[in-house]
Each structure stands twice: as C-alpha cells, then as structure tokens.
C-alpha cells in the first residue's frame, strides 16, 4: 500500500515526547514490511541545522518549499519549509499555533496524491481529515488520537483559515463550546479512528477520560480501535547499545549490576549495589503523577526506608523546582536531572531495579515497554496502555512482569513501592519477574500487522 503519515514531530528529526517515537517507528516498520511510506512533518530550526542530506522536492505544487530525505528503502520523509511558521526552537506553545498547523495540514492534504491511505496523528494534523473529505473519496482516512487532552482548541474566528465550508462549523463536526476544535474534526471526518492502546480506546468513551469529547467518541465507537504502540528494539536493547556501560541479556544479567554501579557514579548516588534503585523518566506534569511521586518519596524518607531514586525530565516549573529541591535535600540518595538526555535515559533504564510511572492517565506509555526489556520492573498506575502492557504480581509468577496499583494517590503508590521492596528482598522471585518482562515482545511487527488489517477494512 501507499501510505502517507502526517505528524508534527518525528524521531529522529524532531521530538518533544512519545508522539515522535511512535510515528517514526511505525513508518519505519511499515516500510520494512514492504509498504511505500511517505512521512510529512514541518521543517523546524533544529532539522535545518542538523540534517544536511535534504533534497528539494521539485514536483510539489505548494505555497512553500518541500524538502525530502530517503533514510531507508520504501521510506520518504518530506519536510514543509515555511520559515515564518516553523523556523523556531520550540515546536509548540506559540500564539500562532492555529495558523501554523492549519497551514501544515493544508500542505499535507495537497501532497496526498496517488496514496491509498492518509494517516494523521493528533490535533496538529487533524484538519487533513475534513479537507480530504471534500472530494478525494478514494483515499482512506485514518486518524490516531495519541492524547485526547490536547485538542487544538482555538477561537472560532480561526475557522476561516481552514477554507472549509461554513456548514462544517457546527456542534456535530468542528465546533466545541463556540470554539474551533481541530481534534474533534479529525475524529468526526476520519473513516477510522485509532488510539494507542485498547484500554485507552475504552476510556475515551467515558466522561473521566474523554476530555469533553466522550459523546463524539461514543458516536464513533464502531470505527474506534485501540492498537498498542510498539518498541523499536534496534534502538532500545541491552545487547548492542553504545549508551550502556556493559551489555547484558536475559541469559546473562551480570551486566545490569555493572550498569547500576556506573549510573550511581555518573549521577552522584552513593555506590550501594544492594539498595533498590527506582527510576523515572517523564514530562514533569500533573498528568504524569509527579506530585504523587513526590509525596510518596517524602513518606518513604520520613519512614527511613532504604532506597535510591534517579529522575530525568522537564515540564511544569513548580514540579521541576520541587523535584530538584528534594534531590538537593537528599544528596547521594536522590538525583534529578532537569532536561532530556538520550544516553542518560538508556542508562537510567539499565541501572534501575524498578521504574515508576504513576500517571493519572496514560494513553499508551513507552517507558514501561522499555523498562520491561531493560529488566527494570515497572510500577504503574493501572490505566490506559500501562494496564494493557504490564502483568501484576497477583497474576502469578509465571506471568507477572511488574506491579500495578489502582488508587493514584501517594498512599496507593506507597503501597505499590512496598510490594516492590518485598520483591527486591526475594532475589529469586525478582529474577523471575524481571526475566518475564525481558521476554515480552512489544515489537512493531504486531502493531504493523494490526494496522494492515485496519487499512484493508476501509476499502
């Protein structure tokens, strides 16, 4: 099939979060499976500075330049070059985001020629769905909601920028409380809607998780499917990884202990091989439960529990400050690095005994999948993709891969950490659970097969 993906960020060219990882890896996996893949994304400043193999796409009839690169067989990446809109360091959060991504979506719709499927991702590209509905009926339209909390909601006067008929601005299609809602338009006009885990697809039908659009998702329920994201194991593996101090595998776990000691040295933790080390790599935001994590750690410290913590992330300024302050108060026991460092992310996964993800909601989550492969037993709130991908200890030692909790509060997380400490005190049992997780296969192969079935169902 000829498939065109549209995303506002794509790894390795641009990234603020899991959207970039998912779109880049899915496109590569589909190309390897034999599909002809075109991936369209904006040309941001960082791409312009770092990517020197770009060629001009001469046949593009667009109001902006289009550059291309062909990183591997069957995969072409197109970059929309509009410096006034995209030549910036920060991808999002600008006053003209409506103008930026409406323009981008129009370019995508114009590029969607001679393709079988247009697959748009999140609100930034949602407008392609109603644009394509105006005439190109032979093209299958698939829209993936990676996170329904981000909807591309703007004042109603921005609707004029879309050049869509005025009749589209109504409560059943693109109007939402007298505003323009791009995500809503993507859901309504797509042939099929997907999200990034089966449980999150069910959660979107409820008021708790539907973010005000639950009635729209309910109306689309027969065309809504949850497909769990995969992991690019060529990138995330413990055997051939330049970021790690020592390789290790399910059959030879000695290297994990070496990575733990190396991580402790690197980030200033005391070199204590027998103290459980908990890791977290996250956006510092309320959604991610960072406040819950902070309170739970404060209680562990008050109870004089022996543990270490390694954190990496950025986001809300108050949460950044709170995490940094806690680390400064407990040097050698808690370290928090504000920002993102790819190499350090791999080393935290490899060096941690447990990986904590107390997200209030999590459409898919990727770090728990990385943690499973790296032998860092995940401790997760049982929501969205976290619930789909982790088997709790209660499910039996032959199946268990982690620890889940249902009460997303400091007490709920504290009880889960207590179970982790009990597991750590039983090395034989810990080893069994760790190896169960390392055996789990969340490769993109199965995800790609699921999307193939979905695409074929359109025609």
Same fold, 2-230+444-458 and 254-439: yes
**Tokens 């270490």 -> residue:** 308
Cα(330)–Cα(335) distance, integer angstroms: 8
Residue 282 structure tokens: 């996250």
What pLDDT score does 135 carry? 76
Between 58-67, 80-89, 113-122, 187-196, the lowest mean confidence (pLDDT) is in: 58-67
- Which pLDDT tens digit goes with each residue over 233-242? 988 999 999 9
How would DSSP label each residue in 329-389?
A: HSTTTEEEEES--HHHHHHHHHH-SEEEE--S--SS-SHHHHHHHHT-EEEEESSHHHHHH
pLDDT exceeds cutoff 90 at 37: yes
Instruction: State yes or no: pLDDT of 336 exceeds 70.
Output: yes
Instruction: Measure the CA–CA gap between 147 and 140, rounded to whole angstroms.
Output: 22
Mean pLDDT over residues 334-349, rounded?
Answer: 96
Cβ atoms of 280 and 311 closer than 8 Å: yes
Domain formed by 254-439, architecture: 3-Layer(aba) Sandwich (3.40)
* % pLDDT > 70, the chain: 98
Query: Per-residue confidence at 136, pLDDT binned at 50, 70, 90?
Result: low
Give the residue-averaged pLDDT of 427-443.
Answer: 97
Which residues lie below 8 Å from residue 456, measured CB to CB, with a gap of 6+?
A: none
CA distance from start to end of the chain: 12
How much is the average pLDDT of 442-458?
94
To the question of pTM greater than 0.85 for the whole model, the response is: yes
Mean of the per-residue pLDDT values for the chain? 95
Residue 167 pLDDT: 94
Mean pLDDT across 422-444: 97
CATH number of 2-230+444-458: 3.40.50.2000
Q: Residues 140-169: pLDDT tens digits?
A: 999 999 999 999 999 999 999 999 999 999
CB 118, CB 62: distance < 8 Å = no
Mean pLDDT on 116-137 = 93
Residue 459, pLDDT above cutoff 70: no
Over range 171-196, report the average pLDDT.
96
- Residue 59 confidence class, pLDDT cut points 50, 70, 90: low
Relative orientation angle of helices 427-439 and 410-424, to the nearest 10 degrees: 110
pLDDT category, 50, cuts 50, 70, 90? confident
Residues 6+ apart with CB under 8 A from 410: 292, 295, 296, 298, 299
Give the model's confidence band at 60: pLDDT under 50 very low, under 70 low, under 90 confident, else very high.
Answer: low
Q: In sequence order, what DSSP letters do the residues of 169-190 get, joined into one string?
A: -STTTTEETTEEEHHHHHHHH-
Q: Give pLDDT tens digits for 198-231.
A: 999 999 999 999 999 999 999 999 999 999 999 9
pLDDT of residue 198: 96
Q: Spell out the domain ranges in the chain.
A: 2-230+444-458, 254-439
* pLDDT score of 48: 78
**Mean per-residue pLDDT for 17-42?**
95
């Amino acid at each position: 099939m000829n498939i065109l993906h549209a995303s506002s960020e794509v790894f390795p060219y641009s990234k603020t979060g899991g959207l970039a990882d998912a779109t880049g890896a899915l496109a590569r996996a589909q190309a390897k499976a034999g599909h002809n893949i075109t991936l369209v994304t904006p040309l941001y400043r960082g791409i312009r500075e770092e990517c020197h193999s770009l060629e001009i796409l001469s046949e593009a009839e667009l109001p902006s330049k289009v550059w291309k690169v062909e990183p591997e067989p069957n995969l072409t990446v197109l970059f929309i070059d509009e410096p006034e809109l995209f030549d910036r360091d920060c991808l999002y959060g600008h006053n003209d985001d409506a103008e930026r991504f409406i323009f981008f979506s129009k370019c995508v719709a114009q590029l969607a020629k001679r393709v079988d499927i247009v697959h748009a991702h999140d609100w930034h590209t949602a407008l392609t769905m109603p644009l394509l509905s105006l005439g190109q009926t032979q093209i299958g339209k698939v829209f993936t909601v990676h996170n329904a909390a981000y909807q591309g909601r703007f004042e109603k006067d921005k609707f004029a920028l879309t050049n869509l008929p005025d009749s589209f601005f109504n409560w059943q299609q693109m109007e939402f409380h007298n505003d323009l809602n791009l995500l809503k338009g993507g859901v309504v006009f797509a042939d099929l809607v997907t999200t990034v885990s089966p449980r999150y697809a069910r959660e979107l039908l409820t008021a708790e998780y539907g973010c005000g659009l639950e009635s729209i998702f309910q109306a689309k329920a027969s065309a809504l499917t949850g497909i769990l994201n995969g992991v690019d194991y060529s990138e995330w593996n413990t055997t051939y990884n330049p970021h790690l101090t020592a390789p290790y595998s399910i059959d030879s776990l000695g290297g994990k202990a070496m990575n733990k000691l190396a991580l402790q040295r690197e980030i200033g933790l005391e070199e204590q091989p027998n103290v459980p080390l908990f890791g977290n790599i996250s956006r510092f935001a309320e959604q991610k439960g960072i406040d819950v994590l902070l309170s739970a750690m404060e209680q562990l410290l008050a109870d004089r529990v022996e543990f270490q913590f390694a954190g990496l992330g950025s986001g809300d300024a108050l949460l950044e400050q709170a995490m940094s302050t806690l680390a400064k108060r407990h040097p050698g026991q808690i370290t928090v690095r504000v920002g993102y460092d790819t190499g350090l992310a791999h080393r935290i996964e490899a060096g941690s005994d447990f990986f904590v993800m107390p997200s209030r909601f999590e459409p898919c989550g990727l770090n728990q999948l990385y943690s499973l492969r790296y032998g860092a037993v995940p401790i997760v709130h049982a929501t969205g993709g976290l619930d789909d991908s982790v088997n709790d200890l209660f499910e039996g030692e032959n199946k268990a891969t982690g620890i889940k909790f249902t009460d997303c509060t400091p007490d709920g997380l504290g009880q889960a950490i207590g179970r982790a400490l009990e597991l750590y005190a039983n090395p034989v049992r810990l080893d069994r659970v760790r190896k169960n997780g390392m055996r789990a296969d969340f490769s993109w192969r199965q995800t790609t097969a699921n999307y193939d079935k979905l695409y074929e169902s359109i025609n």
